[in-house]
Amino acid sequence: MEWPTNLDEYEKLVIRMNNPRVVIDNAVCPTATLVKVDSASKKHGVLLEAIQVLTDLNLSVKKAYISSDGRWFMDVFHVTDQFGHKLTDDSVISCLEQSLDTGIPEMKKTQGCEGLTTLELTGTDRPGLLSEVFAVLADLHCGVAEATVWTHNGRIACLLFVKDELSGSPIEDAQRIHRVESRLRHVLKGDHDVRGAKTAVTSMAVTNVDRRLHQLMLADRDYERSSSPPVPSSSVSVQNWLERGYSVVNVQCQDRPKLLFDIVCTLTDMEYVVFHGTIDTDGDLAQQELYIRHKDGSPISSEAERQRVIQCLQAAIERRASESTRLELCMPDRPGLLSDVTRTFRENGLLVTRAEVSTKGDMASDVFCVTDATGQPADPQAIEAVREIIGLECLKVKEEQRPRFCRKDSIGREESQSQGGVGIGLLYLGSLVRRNLYNLGLIKSCS
């Protein structure tokens, strides 16, 4: 086993003593690879760590069973690759097994960001804002090596890894850092900012970019709607099962990559623990039942808290769910490239809703999700106009590959949908028992 270089012998011993047992099986399920993780050690966030490993390897969770009792836990995941196939690549299986076995999540998203200055930005979103941010950084000779940008409900959150454009070294001069923060805060505030903008240069190690962006959005209260809310694309309900001391979270929405990560990440950062749960997909529909408590063991205690959990989970689902066009940019990197590209988007009426920026050697490899200025699907003519300006071979329209799952018999779905609030505990308990027996090999799958 290869250990991270920053661990001493005592830390390695502790990991060995609390190592989870990992089983990866391709024989049990005909359509997915079975991944079982169980351990006698239970700590806050251990479920999220396991899901983060799966997410970092671009694996999709088709079904899952989660259970913990005291200091013991068992998680079972039915996973596929990003194309909906079982895992056959030995290197992926080995990496998955090692990462789950050590309890150390993959950190591939930030492993190339060591020695860079980390900027965190939040504020009120508006058309052209991202272009202005990149223009300020270019003017201050700050090269953007990596960046991830999310927008939701009129708010924007950015995580940027920058360096001095000339020397390639981190920006450490205090006066220069203050100037960068001041200029960016001024741009983020704009003329119509209602909540205020925040900029920060942080030395905190970012172990997962997506989780940090969820935290920034949650702290910025993007779940609060300032106007009439649109019809939600997801169904989220929370009910207390007082007999067992749980709060039961039920989520139904369109399935997509990283959905389970987004939901469990939000619950974890809100200081809830998932004790039991079932996750299932039926075609493009994802259904999740999660039994949660506070870290102190108590369920949700008020209607206001229940509504806040619902709003925060809906926001976590929606942050990646906009109907946007995915544009992939690949071309030689140069100073001011991001500023020029995003300015071209703005001048042609395109709004960037999400972005992932990375530099590999001398090449820029960026992804932009764009809509029109009102948040509706972008005009194909505007897309083509932008591509002609930037370069047809450099900027391409790509559809995100999503795994396709076979639909199960509709009877099971109709049965679950016909149940109301009465008897909800029995319904969920029955679901857990059936899946528990199946995952222990005591009954055959009914899928």
Q: How far is CA 228 from CA 14, 85, 223, 371, 376, in A?
A: 52, 41, 13, 21, 17
* b/e 195-230 (16+ beta carbons within 10 angstroms → b): bebbbebeeeebebbbbbbbbbbbebebbeeeeeee
Task: Please report, in tens digits, the pLDDT of each residue of the chain (447 residues total).
Answer: 455 556 667 665 555 556 678 899 999 899 999 999 987 666 677 889 999 999 999 999 999 999 987 667 889 999 999 889 999 999 999 999 888 876 555 444 454 567 789 999 999 999 999 999 999 999 999 999 999 999 999 999 999 999 998 888 888 889 999 999 999 999 998 766 666 788 988 766 677 899 999 999 999 999 987 655 555 678 999 999 988 899 999 999 999 999 999 999 999 999 999 999 999 998 889 999 999 999 999 999 999 999 999 999 999 999 998 789 999 999 999 999 999 999 999 999 999 999 999 998 899 999 999 999 888 999 999 999 999 999 999 999 987 655 554 455 433 433 333 334 334 444 444 455 455 545 444 344 444
CA dihedral 185, 223, 345, 398 (to 10 degrees): 140
Give the pTM: 0.84
Alpha-carbon distance 446 to 438, whole Å?
A: 9
Q: Where are the alpha helices (DSSP H) in 144-258?
A: 174-189, 209-219
Alpha-carbon distance 73 to 198, whole Å?
A: 39
Instruction: Tell me the backbone φ, ψ of residue 210, rounded to 5 degrees.
Output: -60, -40
Residue bearing tokens 């559809």: 399
Alpha-carbon distance 135 to 151, whole Å?
A: 19
Q: Which fold would CATH assign to domain 1-106?
A: Alpha-Beta Plaits (3.30.70)
Q: Give the right CATH number for 117-222+322-398 from 3.40.50.2000, 3.40.1020.10, 3.40.50.300, 3.30.43.10.
A: 3.40.1020.10
Cα end-to-end span (Å), the chain = 37
Cα angle 243, 309, 64; round to 5: 70
Note whether 314 and 260 are within 8 A (CB).
no
Q: Domain spans of the chain? A: 1-106, 117-222+322-398
